[in-house]
Each structure stands twice: as structure tokens, then as C-alpha cells.
Amino acid sequence: MDIFEQFTFKDDLQVRWVDLDPLGHVNNSIYIQYFELGRGKYMSASSTTWDWHKNMFLIANISCDYKKELKLTDRKPTVWVRTMRFGSKSFDLEYLICTEHEGQTILHAQGRSTQVMFDMKERKTILIPEWLKSEILAYEKAGSIAE
């Protein structure tokens, strides 16, 4: 199966001049910011009930594998996001940073993050709400999420 077939969500990115390092490609730390941009839009798209003022998670882990340099001149940069796994209190997201070239999708980076649900008032981890799990499962492709 093509890796891109597992993803429902993708969004356009804008590579900015400030994102570049002295070698002329996107600095490695910026990819994490691209993941963050995608994660925010993904949560709003995948869960209509999600409210950033009421629901919160913490990033417990995040990683990025760099595949091919991304430059300012690369065409149609996008971030792809999907839920890979649900635990009882945490869930894992997968990210792809891609561009288009001559009708082909070019993979520049692949990453993962683990989000842990958190109660801001009680200052402790909580179970993933059933409504959130249900909405994400309905949004994603059937069978694409491990539990």
C-alpha cells in the first residue's frame, strides 16, 4: 500500500525565507513547527467537537526523519497528518512533509508525535474522551488506526 493512501488530511504549507538555514534549505527545527501547524488544523478537521479552550493534550514525544532537503523553490509543499494509534490516555500522530514535482509526490520528512490527554484544572493525565476517539475514527480511513 502506498503510504499516502493511509492519510485523509493534508494542508498546504508556505516555506518562508526565515525557515531557511545558511545551506538554503529548510532548517531541521522548522519541520517540527510544520508538524505543529498540521496538527492544529488536523484536530479541527477530524473532530468537530474539539475545543482548544476546553480540551488539552501535552506532547510526550516527537520525532522527525529527514528524507530529502526542502527548499524555498520546491512546489506545493504540504503537511499530511493522521492518527496512527490510540492508547487509553494517549494517541500517536504521523506526519509527512511533501512537495509535488512532475506529477509525483516527493517525501521530504516523516515524523511522529505522542499526545497525552491532560486536565488543566486537576493538572493530571486523563483518559481520551470517547467522543474524541469516535470522531477521529469516523474521520480516518477504516482500519488505519491501531488500538
Report d(CA 109, CA 47) in Å as an integer: 25
Report the percent of the chain where pLDDT is more than 90.
Answer: 89
pLDDT of residue 1 exceeding 90:
no
Partnered with residue 117 across adjacent β-strands are 57
pLDDT of residue 34 exceeding 60:
yes
Instruction: Summarize the confidence of residues 65-90 as an average pLDDT.
Output: 97
3-state helix, strand, coil in the chain (%, to 5): 25, 40, 35
Partnered with residue 114 across adjacent β-strands are 61, 92
Instruction: Summarize the confidence of residues 135-141 as an average pLDDT.
Output: 96
Report d(CA 88, CA 117) in Å as an integer: 9
pLDDT in tens, 79-136: 999 999 999 999 999 999 999 999 999 999 999 999 999 999 999 999 999 999 999 9
pLDDT of residue 73 exceeding 90:
yes
The DSSP annotation for 8-26 comes to: -EEEE----GGGB-TTSBB
Domains in the chain and their CATH numbers? Answer: 3-139 (3.10.129.10)
pLDDT averaged over every residue in the chain: 95
